[in-house]
Amino acid sequence: MAALNPPHFTRVFIRYFCLYHLLLSLHLPPRASSLSFNSNFSLPRSYNPQDFILQGDAYFDSQMIELTKNDQSQKIHDSVGRVVYAQPVPLWDVATGKLATFNTTFSFQIKPEDGAVTGDGMAFFLGHYPPTSIPNPIENGRNLGLFTNNSNTNATGNDRILAVELDTFLNTGIDTSNSHIGIDVNSIISRVYTNVMVPGKNLTSGLPMTCQVSYDNNTQILTATLKIGDVAYPADTSADLRQLLPSVVAIGFSAATGAAVELHRILSWSFESSLDMSPPPEPQPPAATKPNLPPASRRHPGQPSSYTGYCLVLLVSGLVVVFCCCRHTRNNDLDEAPPRAGVPMQMQMQTQDVVLLLVDPVNNLASIARSFQYDELVEATNNFAEDTMLGRGGSASVYRGRLTNPDKLVAIKRFNGQASDAEKGLFQAEIKAISGLRHRNLVELVGWCNDVGNNHLLLVYELVSQGSLDEHLHGDKSWLSWPKRYRIILDTGCALEYIHKQCNDCVLHGDIKPCNILLDERYQAKITDFGLARLIDHETQQKTTQCPAGTPGYIDPEFLETGKRSRESDVYSFGIVLLEIVSGRRPAGSRLLTEVRNRHSRNAIVEAINPRLLAESTSRDHDERKMERVLLIGLWCTHPDPTKRPLIAEAMKTLESDDENLEIPALPHHVAEPLGHSASSSENSSVHASTAHDQDFLAR
């Protein structure tokens, strides 16, 4: 093995040493109440049987927990069983009213009996602690062991239960199909449900399945996602658990059979919850001018603790050092490449390293981005085959690809043509902006290829499976319920708050719009496309730019007049997105904004809400208030006077507040159409292609 290049080794060591001290300075927030466990029931050492309470017919088998009878020599119908975690789980704090977040994942199997009709199903639940006694199994199959026949549609007191049911039998008057995932709120009749009907990948296919259930205390949204192979079945609902359940609950699983039979098996179960029980901060004296609200602290379900993040980043940092050192022991590849003709030195400095360690101390996340050879990306996309193309823009096309080392699905952004100076500038801007960012609501940079000599400029990102928000709002992707839309709003705002305030440099995105908001399999939103992004110092308010302006309908009129991009420019675009999400309609130049402003001036802003969202709501009054609040904040963010717009932290705090008395700065009743905001021909086409209801709304 060749000797290490001493200067390079010194540089790597210094980088690692600096990272180490950076990590030592991370703030570890106090957590008053938390719970976490991870049990694989095929590995006896991974769990303690004393941590679980078995009720009814449930029992430990060698590789799993059987919830109902499994003795073939005896009858297995009319069987009810539960397994409950032995310790109570704090759900909300009586003193402060604060809610917990939680995230649980379990793998399970529902195995039909040969030739028998299957039924009835199983459920994950939260209920009274200590757990109530098991109900009478006779004729209880339809209740999945959760309720008695007297409380199965309106449970009160100790019988209250929140459950995610996995139902395999069609009970008339209760169910919609014989294979569905549903969310039950104090009733066996599901508040929301999704049919699980793909042939060979449904609840009774006999396959191992995985279900993830999470609750976000900020959005008060419960989300459940069932995965069978490569098929996902989501369901979600709004739920203020303080109004539905006791402050301390039991968690576990329940299953039942009636005349129809099947086996119900829990293979593994992990759970994590966190409840901040610290007292609220002392009230601040009222400000003389616009309040300067601090960024709200948001810990999302599934996010690891600070200690976990600390260890993770240390481990990844060490791997980076080893990787870099090993790479530089190769023969001729050890030499540093000379400067490349025609390529700005700044770009070379941004992209010449083998790997980048991306660290987000705020969210305790870390990842590695690396340089790719062009041939690797050709192989990943089958030579950029047409059937792998995900989309095409003015300067680049995006392809779906699969890397081989490691095996990973990615989205590869390939800049078009002969790498013009403009494209080089966009490539440089995007990699410069995104390479220093790491956040759960930003699309992750995996790597890049900048073979400028051969006109190859490519960026490699994580593949986000559910496409763009625009496709769901206006295309052929699935309809988004209000809970999903509200979560997308908060995720997008959280990402903007991070790039504006919480990362090292303030990053101005420059093109916030639904096309640049991608959704993963859990409909978590991630911002992408930093081609127009610019870095500014946190103390700098504006930056003059000669880059393309952005997208008509989402551009701040102030930017069009002055050429100065600021935080307020991104906030304006965010406001337009809020109006679009709630109304379900494109901006159409300034037409949507004008219509919502006019309705607000007539105290009729609720008329701008998409009627289908209200019609499908299971908590209409609560959801309507939320939608109205989002529209008002959208108008605040798009205030014609940029100085009266909120910081993104202020907008987020107001979005998450339960204060009923929301006030925004006074808006003029009539606002002239912003300069440059007339609908383009493409926008007009999209408007004419809208439904008649869209046209009626715009014509009112």
Annotated catalytic residues are 511
What are the CA-CA distances from residue 364 to residues 20, 310, 359, 405, 685 (Å)?
Answer: 14, 7, 7, 25, 45
H/E/C letters for each residue in 487-498?
A: HHHHHHHHHHHH
List 72's β-bridge partners, or say none: none
Taking phi first (over 0 means left), then psi (-120 to 50 degrees means alpha), and beta for anything else, what does residue 455 get?
A: left
Helix (H, G, I), strand (E, B) or coil at 247: coil
DSSP letter for each residue of 199-231: TTSSTTS---EEEEEEEETTTTEEEEEEEETTE
Task: Please identify which residue in the block is written with the tokens 């060979």.
Answer: 200
Structure tokens at 556: 């701040």
Residue 273, SS3? strand
Given CA atoms 274, 275, 278, 281 in this order, what sign does their dihedral have? positive
Q: Which residues of 27-64 are buried (b: 16+ CB within 10 A; e: fewer)?
A: eeeeeeeebeeebbbeeeeebeeeebbbbbbbeeeeeb
Torsion 592-634-507-390 (CA) sign: negative
Task: Give residue 596's identity as a one-letter amino acid code.
Answer: V
Q: Tell me what percent of the chain is helix, strand and coil, each rounded to the nearest 5.
A: 30, 25, 45
Question: For residue 508, what are the β-bridge partners?
Answer: 534
Residue linked to tokens 């309507």: 624
- Structural Rg of the chain based on CA atoms: 27
Residue found under tokens 């390479």? 435
